[in-house]
């Protein structure tokens, strides 16, 4: 008996079209706000940042799904749509609104099986779930873990250092700010459950700890955290 090879439900071309749609949707969300709202003075919440975060989550979620045996198509499409409503809906509503947009897109721009659409929209809807990961599907777990991990490591350190300028802090506070990323890394390591996500979390956490030690060693007068 031969091995059944599962055909991908989403072609590379279709996925690229989805990425273009998500990017345009986020940009339009900011343009619709009067004076740009909070997006003007929180650049890490801009459409550009949000789309970059989305692509990071797509890559992380796809890697985790591939290593853990989850449905990669469901995971990468759900990851692409997970924050599409982030800039236009309240935090507590953005997951539900994102699921709605994802459903409308998949129902009207392709001949996707309804079971696939349901899995994608459920993962988008549940990606902000704060309870035990055993309560959600493996595909949703991969998305939640990827979303958590994007703010850990080099990306998280850069965002925290950027925040220093908005809090009028000096470089002498850099190790304190990076320590926040270390704490977030420990929280992420406690939150994730799959072997793949745990491996990524610990690798990224180790790099941030090294960077904090480097700061303390090379910046005179900086007190160790």
CATH number for 19:
1.10.3210.10
Is 4 among the domain residues?
no
Helices (H) and strands (E) in the chain, counts: 9, 0
How does pLDDT run across 161-206, given as a tens digit for each residue? 777 777 777 777 788 888 888 998 899 999 999 999 999 999 999 9
- One-character DSSP codes across 26-46: HHHHHHTSGGGGGGGT-GGGS
Average pLDDT, the chain: 87
Range of the domain at 95: 12-134
- How far is residue 36's CA from residue 97's CA, in Å, rounded to a whole number? 20
Q: Residues 17, 126: one domain?
A: yes
Cβ-Cβ contacts under 8 Å for 16 (sequence gap 6 or more): none
3-state secondary structure of 3: coil
Task: Return d(Cα 47, Cα 31) in angstroms, integer.
Answer: 9
Q: What's the whole-number mean pLDDT along residues 53-82?
A: 97
Greater model confidence, 14 or 225? 14
Percent of the residues in the chain that have a pLDDT greater than 70, as a whole number: 89
Residues 28 and 124 in one domain: yes
What are the E-state strand segments in 44-142? none
Residues 126 and 161 in one domain: no
Domain count, the chain: 2
Residues 160, 58 within the same domain:
no
Report the pLDDT averaged over residues 24-45.
67
């Amino acid at each position: 008996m031969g091995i059944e090879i599962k055909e991908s439900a989403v072609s590379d071309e279709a996925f690229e079209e989805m990425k273009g749609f998500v990017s345009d949707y986020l940009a339009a969300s900011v343009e619709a706000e009067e004076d740009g709202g909070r997006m003007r003075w929180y650049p890490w919440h801009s459409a550009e940042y949000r789309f970059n975060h989305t692509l990071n989550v797509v890559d992380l979620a796809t890697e985790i799904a591939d290593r853990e045996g989850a449905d990669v198509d469901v995971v990468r499409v759900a990851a692409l749509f997970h924050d599409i409503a982030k800039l236009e809906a309240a935090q507590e509503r953005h997951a539900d609104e994102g699921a709605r947009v994802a459903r409308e897109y998949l129902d009207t721009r392709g001949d996707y099986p309804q079971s696939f659409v349901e899995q994608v929209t459920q993962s988008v809807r549940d990606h902000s779930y704060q309870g035990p990961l055993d309560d959600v599907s493996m595909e949703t777990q991969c998305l939640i873990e990827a979303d958590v991990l994007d703010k850990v490591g080099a990306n998280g350190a850069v965002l925290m250092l950027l925040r220093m300028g908005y809090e009028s802090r000096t470089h002498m506070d850099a190790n304190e700010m990076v320590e926040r990323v270390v704490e977030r890394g420990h929280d992420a390591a406690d939150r994730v459950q799959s072997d793949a996500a745990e491996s990524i979390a610990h690798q990224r956490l180790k790099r941030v700890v090294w960077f904090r030690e480097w700061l303390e060693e090379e910046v005179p007068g900086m007190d160790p955290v």
